[in-house]
Amino acid sequence: MRNPLHFPYSVNFSRLVLSALAGLLLTGSRVYASDIPEQEPTPAIGETANALRFDLYQGYFIVAHGSAGPLKNLNFFLDTGTNRSVLDARIVKELGVPRAVLADIAVIGGRVKGSEIELPLLELGPVKASNLPVVTTDLSFFQKFFPVHIDAIVGMDVLGLEPFVIDYVAHVIRFGQNAPAFAVSVPLRLYHGMGVFDAEVDHMRAQLVFDTGAGSIILFDRHRPGAIDPDIEAPQSIGDFGRKQVWLRALKLGSEEYRWKPAVITSNPNATQLDYDGLMSPPALGIMRVFVDLQGGRFAFSR
């Protein structure tokens, strides 16, 4: 067992309602959260067979169109920090698919109720996933922050089927693309269906999840594993958790080093099941293009 990363910060939590799912969802397990943005305009770009346009909110939150069964033109939030896709309960009702009840879904700060179904077909641009097990829960909290209804959260169970490039400047994701010659490349490990890579946080080794659903760098306070502040109420949705803002003196990814970057510290929801130290948001570091090959084990990026 490796020595866990400890952050030398005093953590005093306050209850905040945050709005984007950012982290890990396992059946009956755990989910993390981050910030909801406002919408930015989508620039016109050329269409190709393997490319999918998306709308970008607050510079990091990716929403693209896709299909679930016969339902077309749905709004999908693309979240690499989730390994199981999540379908809104309203969409499940429209599909008429029978549900198997789960005990709960753990989130930072507590638990919310969810169920599981087998979705006959999910389509996202050129990517198609058949007979896909997905979790279903109420995603209506997104409506507090978005001009569009979020119908599903598409995780790495779908996104990781093929290598892909996310271009935050052009607002496009390209699937099945050969590895580009980006400035920085680091090994990517498969952990519970997600991409984890090594980094250095304030000159200490850390393992971070590549997470497009996070609006900032999110780190777990391992001085208090599994602890929940008594002043924080149990969440009513996936978007509730406590946090404290800090500044990192240095964050190193491969050959690239970032100085004095803001980050969020929160309690580790279940230290006995987590073996990574936090979540990495590319735009939070000014990273505008990323390449992910989950099966090939490579993460590359450029500013």
Res. 302: pLDDT tops 80: yes
Give 105's pLDDT tier (boundaries 50, 70, 90).
low
Res. 298: pLDDT tops 70: yes
50's torsion region: left (phi>0), alpha (psi -120 to 50) or beta? alpha
Q: What are the pLDDT digits (tens) for 170-195?
A: 999 999 877 788 989 999 998 878 89
Q: Do 48 and 172 touch, CB atoms closer than 8 A?
A: no
Joined together, the tokens standing for residue 275 give 């073996």
Q: What are the pLDDT digits (tens) for 50-81?
A: 899 999 988 888 999 999 999 999 999 999 98
Backbone angles phi, psi at 251, to 5 degrees: -135, 120
**pTM (two decimals):** 0.79
Residue with token string 């507090």: 144
Domains with residue ranges and CATH for the chain: 14-302 (2.40.70.10)
Percentage of the chain surpassing pLDDT 70?
69
Measured over the CA atoms of residue 125, residue 146, residue 155 and residue 206, the dihedral's sign is positive
Strand partners, 3: none
Average pLDDT of every residue of the chain: 75
* Chain mean position to CA 289: 16
